[in-house]
Chains A and B, each alone.
Chain A
Amino acid sequence: MSNQFYPLFYSFHFYLFGLMALASSLMFVTRKSPVAAAMWLVATMFALAALYIMLDAQFVGVMQVLVYAGAIMVVFLFVVMLLNLGSPADLNDMRGKWGRLLAGFVGLALVAELMALTKSPLDLRLVLPAATDVPPTGGVIASIAAPMFKEYLLAFELTSVLLLAAIMGAVVLAKKTDAR
């Protein structure tokens, strides 16, 4: 992998936010209350947004805060409230002790297997020379806009259809059931 030198300040904050993401995600999966869990997930997303920015993906970082944490999670919370699932008491949400242990174990196994992906070095010949050092001209947005509206124009347009379908679907499903 890249053996680029990073300043200590950068490294510290990178690890800090990394740990925050990890810790808050762990909190997220262990909270009984849906509201608490959602809040910890939001925290995770913030931490990730910070990491995005540190990885030179400022636009994505902003989108993460605005769209994910700001919009999607709000909808989640909204539904939690709507369905009045706020109190943990009436939920037997978590699996039993053994289930959790086993799940933790399986999670570790999965991590172990996924970590294999770090074992072979990436082929540097694949790396675009332009992307290594030189910041793209036209700013951060332009570097994203170019592929999005050229190579991935189709994908972009498709997402609009996707959203349309999703909206319609959501409306159809969530409409009040008509009396029979």
Chain B
Amino acid sequence: MLAESLALSAALFAIGVVGVLTRRNAIIVFMCVELMLNAVNLSFVALSKLYGATGQVFVIFVMTVAAAEAAVGLAIIIAIFRHKQTVNLQNINLLRG
């Protein structure tokens, strides 16, 4: 099932990417990134079948990182919402050029 897992991982990753490209809500974009990380996790888990439990350790680390990112990311989104009253990325383009 390794090949299938890797393929599924790639597909999920691509879906996450497509989500980033199509969505304009900052939170949803962020969630799409989370999906990408989950897809990578799947790869790690699948590979751990092959190389031992190290891959699973990586997944734990990635989860931690994701949690940390979530904390900071959501704080940032709240901060911008305070300024703009929106999280629509289309309206967030003060910095340009």
Contact = CB atoms under 8 A, between A and B. Distances in A.
A and B directly contacting (CB within 8 A): yes
B77 A41 contact: no
Q: Majority SS of interface residues in chain A?
A: helix
Interface string B25-42: 101101110110010011
Contact of B53 (A67, A122, A136): A136
Determine the interface band of chain B, counting residues with CB < 8 A from chain A: 35 or more
Contacts of B23: 29, 93-95
Interface in B3-33: 3-8, 10-19, 21-25, 27-28, 30-32
Contact of A162 (B31, B49, B60, B65): B65
Contacts of A165: 68
Interface string A83-112: 101000001111100011001101110110
A115 B65 CA distance: 26
Contacts of A64: 41, 63
A21 B45 contact: no
A146 B53 CA distance: 9
B10 A111 contact: yes
A68 B74 contact: no
Interface in A28-58: 28-29, 34, 37-38, 41, 44-45, 48, 51-52, 54-57
Contact of B35 (A44, A59, A118): A44
A127 interface: yes
B67 A114 contact: no
B4 to A, nearest CB: 7
B97 interface: no
Interface of A: 1-2, 6, 10-11, 14-15, 18, 21-22, 25-26, 28-29, 34, 37-38, 41, 44-45, 48, 51-52, 54-57, 59-60, 63-64, 67-68, 71-72, 75-76, 79-80, 82-83, 85, 91-95, 99-100, 103-104, 106-108, 110-111, 114-115, 117-118, 122, 126-128, 130-131, 136, 143-144, 146-148, 151-152, 155-156, 159, 162-163, 165-167, 169-171, 173-174, 177
Given A51-B8, A155-B61, 5 more contacts: A22-B8, A60-B56, A103-B21, A162-B64, A173-B75
